[in-house]
Each structure stands twice: as C-alpha cells, then as structure tokens.
C-alpha cells in the first residue's frame, strides 16, 4: 500500500473540488479501488502504488486544466480522467488552443476569464456550419448547448465587427400560461420567456457593457411576434425554441432576413408546447429547406449534453419505449 498527500496549490479550492465536492466524487468513482480524501488544500490518495501514481498524475492534469481555464466541471473531470471522449479537452488536461486547425478554438472570452468554446463534436459542426451558411438550423434535446453556442457565435461576430447588432427572439409560448393572465406590463410579461437568452449574454459580456448594448439597441431581445414587418440587416439573428413557432410564424421570421445578416434557428422537437392541432413550423422548415444552398442543418443528441450528467440519462430514458407491465 502507498499513501500520497497531494497539495492542491490553487486559490479557490471550492471551485476545484466542485459544488458539494462534485468533482471530487468523479475522481473517486474513477479510482474505485483507491481511498481518495479531500481536506483543505490537500488530497490524500491511498492504495496500490501503480494506481496511486496514475491518480496523482491525472489530478495534476486536472490542476493544470483549472489554471488554464479558470473553471472545472464534473464533465470535464470525466474527460480528463479518460472516462469519456472529449471534444475540447485532451487526456493531458489541455484544452485546444485558440486558432487550432480543427475549429475547436475559443469563441468568446467572457468576464472573469470565462472561455466560451464549442465543447462537443456537434457544437463544432454548428460553428463550422455557421461559417459556411447564412442560415443554420440546430436541432436537439435540452442541455446540448444549442442556444449557448448560437449566442456565442453572435457575440463573436459583434466583437469582430462582422455585424452591427444582435437580435435574439423566441416564441412566447409556454405550457399552461397565457401572456394576458400574467402580472405586470408587456416587458414584465415576456422577460421570463427570454430569460435563457439573457443568461447566456451575461456569461459572455460584462454586465455594464451589456446594459449599454441593450439600452442603445445593439443587442435586442424580443418575442417572435415583434419581428413581423421588419427587415433584419447587418445583424446576427437567433430564433430560440423554434419548435414552438407555427408554420406561418417561421416563414415570416426567415423572410425578415436582410443584407449582411446571419440567422441561427434552434429547437427541440421533443418539447413542442403548441396546441395539439397546431403543427410545429420547425418540422416543416427542416423538411422543405434542407437542400437549399446557404442553409445548414445540424442535429445534436444526448452525447452533446453539457449540463449535469443526469440530463443525458434522463434524455436516454425518455427516448426508450415504455413497456407496460402486464396485470395478473
């Protein structure tokens, strides 16, 4: 048996160990025959010498990744420890440097050193498709980073002065609620529907600068109904939750496109909140527009989930057919 006391020389040990020691738990699961104990700024590893040496080496790689990126999630711990195949992290704990030939570069440098990048193969396909096409449809289940990647692409285009403004929109459709019955003025009614878009923006743009952009119209967040009659030019336009747009609404949106504009349409076919007799415009659009030059179509799946590890299991469970137990 061998015992190693590994000093974690990082300022924020809580971020390294994870919320409720989530990252530490992944390390423990990765080395089930070892005893791994985290105390203060130290990790104690006890077990067979070869396994202890392997664990020590990989924990050092986790520390190197944390120093480089300023953050560490349980998913990234899994990748670096070799439990999963990674899109932007190699087994040496190194993220691909900006400007890499395979496109796994940083999209946006957010506040507090946050690096926003495509983290899965299909997210990279989104980035590549957006560079080749003026309209991209990104379709997949919850947690696959469709909206986040789309917003990052828009913010990058704005920072690079490729466009003059960003327009983010989504249908104001949710299960069990109607705008007229919600309290407050129009802005207060629609803001909850647009919250995910605001959240992504706050990750990528300093709050004071974002406030200025929103006030002067450089960034506009509005419900889909507000797009009617407009020409959206010199803009990066994102339609989120497009599965809740009707056929006429989606046609209206796509035909708003003006000169020097790009569009990304995101949606989840499994979460349509429209009335049963109202077909989703996203289903129709992907069928009739798929062969048009300049329009890209990217499908994401459970392998692209970047939220909590249970989200992937939940998606797989819902995708399985339900077998009813026979009553005796």
pLDDT digits (tens, 9 = 90+) for 90-145: 433 444 433 333 334 678 877 765 678 888 889 999 999 999 999 999 999 888 88
pLDDT mean across residues, the chain = 82
Examine the pLDDT at 183 and tell me if it is beyond 60: no
Q: Which of 29, 62, 80 is the last residue of a domain?
A: 80
Closest CA relative to residue 146, chosen from 226, 74, 273, 239:
239
On whether both 153 and 294 belong to a single domain, the answer is yes
**DSSP character at residue 120:** S
What's the CA angle centered on 203, arms 19 and 97, to 5 degrees?
90
The dihedral over CA atoms of 312, 144, 175, 199, expressed in degrees to the nearest 10, equals 120
Q: Domain residues for 181?
A: 114-319
Q: Which of 59, 80, 101 is the last residue of a domain?
A: 80
Query: Does residue 87 form part of some domain?
Result: no
Mean pLDDT value of segment 234-247: 94
Please tell me which residue, 105 or 219, carries the higher pLDDT value.
219
Give pairs for 39-42: CB < 8 Å, separation 24+. Answer: 40/13, 41/7, 41/8, 41/9, 41/10, 41/13, 42/5, 42/6, 42/7, 42/8
Give me the pLDDT at residue 86, please.
Answer: 43
What whole-number distance in Å separates Cα of residue 177 and Cα of residue 163? Answer: 35
On whether both 308 and 189 belong to a single domain, the answer is yes
Output Rg (C-alpha) for the chain, integer angstroms: 22
141, 317 contact by CB (below 8 A): no
User: pLDDT band at residue 148, thresholds of 50, 70 and 90?
Assistant: very high
On whether both 303 and 171 belong to a single domain, the answer is yes
Which range has the worst mean pLDDT, 63-77, 80-94, 148-162, 306-320? 80-94
Mapped onto helix, strand or coil, the DSSP state of residue 5 is: strand
What whole-number distance in Å separates Cα of residue 224 and Cα of residue 197? Answer: 13
Task: Please tell me the number of Cα atoms within 13 Å of 245 on its side-chain side.
Answer: 29
267, 300 contact by CB (below 8 A): no
Q: Which residues of 88-99 are buried (b: 16+ CB within 10 A; e: fewer)?
A: bbeeebebbeee
Which range has the worst mean pLDDT, 215-219, 222-226, 309-313? 309-313
Mean pLDDT value of segment 245-268: 94
Return the structure tokens found at 96: 């691909």
What whole-number distance in Å separates Cα of residue 255 and Cα of residue 290? Answer: 16
Give me the pLDDT at residue 247, please.
Answer: 93
Query: Does residue 227 form part of some domain?
Result: yes
Give me the pLDDT at residue 318, please.
Answer: 77
What whole-number distance in Å separates Cα of residue 219 and Cα of residue 154? Answer: 10
**Tens of pLDDT along 53-104?**
999 988 988 888 777 666 677 877 887 787 754 444 443 344 443 333 333 4
Which range has the worst mean pLDDT, 4-13, 31-40, 181-190, 241-250? 181-190
Instruction: Say which CATH number the domain at 44 has.
Output: 3.30.1370.10
Give me the pLDDT at residue 296, please.
Answer: 96
Domain count, the chain: 2
User: pLDDT band at residue 258, thresholds of 50, 70 and 90?
Assistant: very high
Please tell me which residue, 226 or 115, carries the higher pLDDT value.
226
What whole-number distance in Å separates Cα of residue 280 and Cα of residue 242? Answer: 8
Give me the pLDDT at residue 308, please.
Answer: 66
235, 157 contact by CB (below 8 A): no
């Amino acid at each position: 048996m061998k015992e190693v006391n590994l000093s974690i020389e990082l300022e924020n040990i809580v971020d390294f160990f994870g919320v409720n020691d989530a990252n530490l738990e992944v390390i423990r699961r990765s080395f089930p025959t070892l005893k791994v104990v985290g105390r203060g700024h130290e990790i104690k590893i006890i077990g067979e010498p070869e396994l202890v040496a392997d664990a020590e080496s990989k924990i050092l790689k986790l520390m190197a990744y944390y120093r480089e990126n300023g953050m560490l999630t349980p998913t990234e711990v899994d990748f670096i420890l070799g439990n999963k195949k990674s899109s932007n992290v190699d087994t040496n704990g190194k993220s691909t440097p900006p400007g890499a030939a395979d496109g796994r570069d940083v999209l946006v440098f957010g506040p507090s050193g946050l690096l926003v990048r495509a983290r899965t193969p299909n997210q990279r396909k989104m980035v590549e498709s957006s560079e080749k096409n003026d309209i991209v449809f990104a379709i997949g289940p919850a947690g696959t980073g469709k909206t986040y990647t789309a917003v990052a692409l828009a913010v990058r285009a704005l920072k690079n002065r490729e466009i003059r403004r960003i327009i983010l929109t989504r249908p104001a459709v949710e299960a069990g609620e109607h705008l007229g019955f919600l309290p407050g003025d129009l802005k207060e009614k629609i803001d909850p529907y647009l919250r995910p878009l605001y959240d992504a923006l706050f990750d990528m743009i300093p709050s004071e600068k974002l406030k200025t952009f929103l006030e002067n119209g450089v960034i506009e967040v509005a419900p889909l109904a507000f797009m009617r009659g407009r020409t959206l030019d010199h803009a990066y336009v994102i339609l989120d939750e497009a599965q809740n747009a009707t056929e006429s609404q989606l046609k209206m949106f796509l035909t708003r496109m003006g000169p020097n504009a790009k569009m990304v349409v995101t949606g989840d076919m499994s979460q349509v909140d429209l009335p049963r007799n109202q077909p989703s415009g996203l289903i129709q659009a992907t069928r009739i527009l798929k062969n048009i030059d300049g329009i890209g179509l990217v499908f994401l799946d459970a392998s692209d989930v970047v939220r909590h590890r249970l989200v992937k299991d939940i998606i797989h469970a819902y995708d399985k057919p339900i077998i009813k137990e026979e009553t005796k």
